[in-house]
Amino acid sequence: MPAHPAADLTHGDRSSIELPEVLVVGSGLFGLSTALHLARAGRRVTVVDEGTPASGTTAAGAGFVGLWAAGYAWYWNESERDLEQYGIDFYRELADTADIGFRDRGNVWLSVSDEGYRDHILPFDRHPLKPAGARLLTPEEVAEVVPGVSAAAVTGGFLHPGGIQISAPDAALALAAEVARAGVRFENCTPVASVLVEDGAAVGVRTSAGAELRAGQVVLASGSWTNALLAPLGRTLPFARVLASRLTTEPFGLGQIPTLMLPELDGLWVREHRGGLTYGHGGGYEALGSAETRADRRPQRTDLVDAMRAQLAPVLAALIPSGGDYADTAEWTQGIVSMTADRRFIAGPVPEAAGLWVVAGDNESGVTHGPGLGRLVADLVTGAQPVAGDPALYRPDRFDGVDYDTADEAAVRAAMPARREVDAVR
């Protein structure tokens, strides 16, 4: 992976530095996007992270981006669709200045049975948010649109032409470099222990080493670790933390193809990656259990990887026969995603402290929605009219008064709506 300037930023002479107007905790896609949009709005910003940019969950991102609200995620609406389009446009612009593995190939949903076609493919064609150019595909048309896919392995498909692919870690490092060019300072390898609150307002953070980093406002973009910072304030966000896995094959000469989504096969997704494939499905996921369970920054659950590899090898061999022995040629990576009780993101003010904001709850789609959510939070912090997304849908306090314990991750998982509409109807 090429080096990016943001990975090795130095701090310089602290005595000559003005206090930041905003301190962003976390340098994944959520934090970096928030910092960039704040800087573009004229704010002095510092980003602090226990590691270096894009070294946590973002580095495990699968990197496919699309209009998921237009048929795939039935519980989302125009607000998420607008955030998704913002992300697509954002990455197109970023790709003009850096190599982020950008692919402009669209997304194709596939079925492997007549029932799957009825339940998962036909609803796309009836969806009110169906984008321009979207269309149903016969098996033969699938093979034309997706070179390498066997028409005999599918019963049909649906094309969203506007979807894109990126390398999530490369895009985040390129974004970090853009953030640095915008004048944002980085405090890397600096774990944050707590939020500083004085007279009811957030005034900075205290690091694990005991140092105080002060600012006019604080944005928590700490992913699955956010609740550890909010707990002393009496606020718990309803997260169900889930370990997610993906596999990557050796290159075998595959050209660029759309991202493939097969909902009936436990959410299987497949995309091209440097001439090979990267892929995953529900077999590579595992809930962490309870709030007391530690979330590793870089998980190493090889048992999940081995099980998913064994499950998917025959499926992929039938779908894309030219890929060789899928059981033996895969590398892997894992990260921790945060699912919310209503599958919507959390972005907005924390009621317990003035000037404290949060952007979290990626719902396994942080790469797609990160740019738009960063812009949304920056607009809220600066008092600007949000250009994408409805802030009322993402308020952190919207779960107050619910009839389940938001600190109980099992209860949060039980409250979540079904992933697919057909399952919810049943």
Give tens-digit pLDDT for 157-187.
Answer: 999 999 999 999 999 999 999 999 999 999 9
Whole-number Å distance between alpha carbons of 373 and 383: 15
Alpha helices per DSSP H over 320-407: 366-382
Q: Is residue 48 part of a domain?
A: yes
Indicate the pairing of strand 156-160 with strand 135-137. Answer: antiparallel
Instruction: Express each pLDDT in 380-398 by its tens digit.
Output: 999 999 999 999 999 999 9
H-helix or E-strand spanning residue 279: strand 276-280
Give the CA distances from residue 19 to residues 212, 284, 318, in Å, rounded to whole numbers and listed in that order.
Answer: 12, 44, 58
Q: Is residue 205 part of a domain?
A: yes
- CATH number, domain containing residue 201: 3.50.50.60
Q: Is residue 358 part of a domain?
A: yes
Write out the residue range of the structural domain in which residue 225 sits: 22-59+169-238+342-405
Instruction: Express each pLDDT in 121-138 by its tens digit.
Output: 999 999 999 999 999 999
DSSP designation for 251: P
Of 102, 123, 120, 214, residue with least CA distance to 167: 102
The SS3 of residue 240 is strand
Instruction: Let me know: does 55 contact 145? Beta carbons within 8 Å.
Output: no
Q: Give the count of domains, the chain.
A: 1
Average pLDDT score over residue span 138-142: 98
With 0-12 / 13-18 / 19 or more C-beta atoms within 10 angstroms meaning exposed / middle / buried, residue 164 is buried
Whole-number Å distance between alpha carbons of 359 and 340: 12
Whole-number Å distance between alpha carbons of 195 and 212: 9
Whole-number Å distance between alpha carbons of 94 and 186: 20
- Band (pLDDT 50/70/90 cuts) for residue 6 is very low
First to last CA, the chain: 46
Q: Which residues have a Cβ under 8 Å from the Cβ of 242 and sit 6 or more positions away?
A: 285, 286, 287, 288, 336, 337, 338, 339, 364
User: How many degrees, rounded to 5, is the angle at CA 81 between CA 65 and CA 182?
Assistant: 65
Q: Which residues have a Cβ under 8 Å from the Cβ of 348 and sit 6 or more positions away?
A: 357, 358, 377, 380, 391, 394, 395, 396
Instruction: Express each pLDDT in 14-67 by its tens digit.
Output: 444 678 999 999 999 999 999 999 999 999 999 999 988 877 777 778 899 999
The SS3 of residue 338 is strand
pTM (predicted TM-score): 0.91
- Band (pLDDT 50/70/90 cuts) for residue 5 is very low
Q: Is residue 366 part of a domain?
A: yes
Write out the two tokens for 193. Answer: 């222990």
Sheet of strand 201-207, all strands in order from the earlier edge strand to the far edge = 192-198, 201-207, 212-214
Give the CA distances from residue 104 to residues 90, 237, 282, 303, in Å, rounded to whole numbers and listed in that order.
Answer: 13, 35, 26, 34
H-helix or E-strand spanning residue 124: helix 122-126
Strand-pairing partners, residue 245, are 334
**% of the chain beyond a pLDDT of 90:** 75
